[in-house]
């Protein structure tokens, strides 16, 4: 007997090489970008940035594999995998990080347990300075 109420969560969105998008993208499925995106990207799935892919903006996702260029902050709930050809100019917030030799990263990295927030960390706690009491 068929189940009609189930939704297909295996959807993969593809932005191919030669495609340039300006604007924000919000999705529930996985996304692979081999083209260029100028804007913010938010998904509950995985983001794969191919070797020819470029993103200029903030990325929020559950998992990510980067082979291209990112200019902006990336927030990953579980695993961020930086391939040898990747180049990141911006901050990273992730739970787990894998970096291949040859990958380039310029920015700050915060390793946090972001999985409890549904894979995204949109509100960061302000960091206290050493020797400073909370609330001051």
Is 106 inside any structural domain?
Answer: yes
Whole-number mean pLDDT of the chain?
Answer: 84
Is 124 inside any structural domain?
Answer: no
Q: What is the pLDDT of residues 10-41, one digit of tens each?
A: 678 999 999 999 999 999 999 999 999 999 99
DSSP assignments along the chain, one per residue: ---SS------EEEE-TT-EEES-EEESSEEEESSEEES-EEESSEEEE-TT-EEES-EEESEEEE-SEEES-EEEEEEEEE-TT-EEES-EEEEEEEE-TT-EEES-EEE---GGGTT---SPPPPPPTTPPTT-
Q: What is the pLDDT of residues 67-102, one digit of tens each?
A: 999 999 999 999 999 999 999 999 999 999 999 999
Q: What is the pLDDT of residues 48-72, one digit of tens each?
A: 999 999 999 999 999 999 999 999 9
Is 85 inside any structural domain?
Answer: yes
Q: How many domains does the chain have?
A: 1
Domain that holds residue 103: 12-117
């Amino acid at each position: 007997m068929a189940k009609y109420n189930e939704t297909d969560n295996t959807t993969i969105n593809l932005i191919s090489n030669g495609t340039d998008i300006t604007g924000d993208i919000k999705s529930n499925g996985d996304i692979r970008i081999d083209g260029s995106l100028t804007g913010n990207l938010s998904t509950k799935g995985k983001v794969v940035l191919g070797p020819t892919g470029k993103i200029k903006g903030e990325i929020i996702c559950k998992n990510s594999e980067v082979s291209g260029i990112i200019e902006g902050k990336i927030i990953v709930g579980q695993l961020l995998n930086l391939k040898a050809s990747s180049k990141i100019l911006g901050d990273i917030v992730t739970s787990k990080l894998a970096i291949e030799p040859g990958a380039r990263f310029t920015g700050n990295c915060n390793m946090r347990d972001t999985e409890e927030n549904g894979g995204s960390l949109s509100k960061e706690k302000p960091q206290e300075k050493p020797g400073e009491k909370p609330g001051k």
